[in-house]
Structure 1
Amino acid sequence: MINQEVFLQYRQNRNIAIRNQIVEAYLYMVEILIRRYLNKGVDYDDLYQVGAMALVAAVDRFDPEKGFEFSSFATPTILGEIKRYFRDKEWSMKVPRRTKEISLKLSSAKEELFEKCGRTPTVAELAEHLELTQEEVLEAIESSKAYATYSLNQSIDDSERELVNYEKFASIEEKGYNSVEDFEIIKAVFKNFNEKEKSVFKLRYVENKTQSDIAEQLGVSQMTISRIEKSIRHKFHEELQR
């Protein structure tokens, strides 16, 4: 593994040979991070190239004097470039304009209803909220599969009961790949939490407690917990969009 002295040396003289040495040492990260995006309409070589170029950019931007680990710094950069690459491909099949517009509205609608109900909304609730029929909502969800890749936040219908994250049904892969990516993202976001956000995150997502249980334990209102949880999700959303 490359030590901090090598990063400092490169930052000082920008020697291409040193940069190449660093990139080669961390190419394993590209291999790990692109696994989740395979078999989604893009060739392995293309994904690897996008990830490798992002890795080079991360090496150029990395400042070892700030005290961060390079892997923690580079992971969001590589993921961000991969996701931008997919977004730039746009829709891979012709989808009616109205259906596409509905599909694009679903994400914000789900967020609003989640805040209101404290759970993932049903198809019926989404249809009522958007003043559409359930058939139109289901068609929009189905049509979103025409996109070159699925967003990790994309939801699909689970036996007409609730909308659930597509990530639950993503292609089978070694758990270690997800663990590396998820850990780096959580670590990057967690360091920016205030103390209340850290407490709520642990109680809500580690101990799986309800908002009302957390509110009672912390001696605050459930509305306060809801606002803190919204702030937590917003910070994760910002990190994932980098």
Structure 2
Amino acid sequence: MPTPTGELLVSAAAPGGKLRESLTVELPEEVDPKEIAPADARELTRVLLRRLATLEEGTREYSYVRNTLVEMNLSLVRFAIRRFTSHREPQEDLLQVGAVGLIKAIDRFDPELGVEFTTFAMPTVLGEIRRHFRDTTWAVHVPRRLQELRILLAKAQDKLFQELDRAPTPNELAEHLSLPVEEVIQGLAAANGHTAGSLDLGSSEDEDGPGALADRLGHEDRDLARVEDLVALKPLVAKLPERERLILSMRFCEDMTQSQIGERLGLSQMHVSRLLTRTLRQLREGLERD
């Protein structure tokens, strides 16, 4: 007893093996397009592509045929993403990106050209995935020119490594690619921007290693910043009248209150407050000018 898919293919073939383009193709509900055998899928793809070319875009039948073509040919996308197993991108994300390329190939395909659909679609799917890596997976922004140079350098490094039995130098890469050495060095540096390591990631090779990178990085030393401020303030304070210098010393070195300073100098607390405010403003303005 033939399968529903087999029945559909038989009904889609006119005498002499030619396809009837006027046929309205619709799979039985119990048939999952993703589960159709590869040989049947190739033949049914030809039928549906010819049918799609005769339908008006936006109609229910057009959408049905187009969606069925996408589901039947997702195996092509899965085959394409096997080339990118070295990347850390989730397979489901790559499948979605590759499916976009598959849809573009379906929309652009012309059955009259006599080209096999898989031959036409594969470059489009691969191109969409490569564009995804080029535009969205860099850890830092790198100019497109350097992104493309990174790919050329990677291929050149592999080839020269086999020839030289060692890693090639920038000069050797530049000579091989007929590029300036400076541009090659830029490309090698840009390659480091493709991925970023975690600051919390330690050394997996040595459990007794130095620990996470974040623990070994320097941090801002506020004491150093304070030293810089004191060095900059020293000549400004030296220019102040003796009374103002004395008030600053009692307030910030001896930690005396304004009332205590006033009692020692024979001034009111309000007068001390005005003198402090004026002196601090002068110092602040002097620092800003410097």
Question: Normalized against structure 1, the TM-score is what?
Answer: 0.45
Q: Please tell me whether Structure 1 or Structure 2 has the larger radius of gyration of its CA atoms.
A: 2
TM-score, normalization by structure 2: 0.38
